[in-house]
Amino acid sequence: LLKILEYDLAYGTREIEADDASRISNAYLELFTPDARYFTNGKFRGEGVGWSGMGQVAHATCETGVVVVDSNSISILWCHDED
């Protein structure tokens, strides 16, 4: 979640500061109960560039996200980028 908020998906350049990405990520995750389950189509390696994903939602060149399911809600946070 931190990487898709912090970095451009196509080129791996930083879009927002790590502290801001962490703050946004933490605020998002705090919305869910402790029994939450998390799903993604992405696998991330290292800093910036270095991810792979399967399946498309936005039909963009690069896209990934997180689906969260808990006992009260379902949420999708999805990011995409074009090359």
Query: Following DSSP, what letter does each residue of 12-79 receive, concatenated?
Result: --B-S-HHHHHHHHHHHHTTS-TT-EEEESEEE-SSSS-EEE-S-SS--SEEEEEEEE-SS-EEEEEE
Pair 63, 51: CB distance under 8 Å: no
According to DSSP, residue 2 is labeled H
pTM: 0.79
Share of the chain above pLDDT 90, in %: 48
pLDDT in tens, 37-55: 999 887 766 655 455 566 6
Q: What are phi and psi of 3, to 5 degrees?
A: -65, -40
Pair 62, 42: CB distance under 8 Å: no
